Amino acid sequence: MADLEKFGITLGQGKHHEEALYSVALIYNICNNRLNNFLKKYNLNTGKLNILVAVRHQGKEQGLSQVDISKHLIVTPSNMTKLIDKLEKEGLVMRLALEGDRRVNIIKVTKKCEHLLDGMWDEYTQELKRPMDKLGEKDREVIAAKLVKWLNCLLV
């Protein structure tokens, strides 16, 4: 509990909004850093992985437009272009012009990407679970339900 005090947040002052927001932000940073360290051995980071997963699972055989990917992942078009350029150079995605409208880029994953994701997925899933290992199942359920509820309130 005293860890939040390092960041200027005094617990028990009735500022639950600060305790919650700073806790979520710190948890995100810790988990993101751990995931990026895990992904280094695959020459990936969370940004690249998010693009690959979105294209593979949402785009399926048709692929996704570069604009749709940037909207889904909340990434600016210029940053998306840089990330797609890197993934294309690494042979993980291919960029194709939309038939009938060459201004639209369709992104598809390659076989190399499919093999990479298939080969790492079980280990990646375990890595996602690890930050909550010290909590009991009931605590994990409660936290997940509360966070989803909070998210849904913000999305309305």
Amino acid at 54: A
In a domain, 38, yes or no: no
Per-residue pLDDT at 1: 46
Per-residue pLDDT at 2: 53
pLDDT tens figures, 68-109: 898 888 778 778 888 999 999 999 999 998 787 778 889 999
Cα–Cα distance measured from residue 27 to residue 129, given in angstroms and rounded to the nearest whole number: 13
Q: Which region, left, alpha or beta, applies to residue 43 given φ > 0 means left and ψ of -120 to 50 means alpha?
A: left
Question: What is the CATH classification number for the domain harbouring 73?
Answer: 1.10.10.10
In a domain, 115, yes or no: yes
What pTM value is reported for the model? 0.81
> Where is pLDDT greater, at 10 or 105?
105
- Residue pair 106/65 in contact (Cβ under 8 Å)? The answer is yes
The residue range of the domain holding 108 is: 45-124
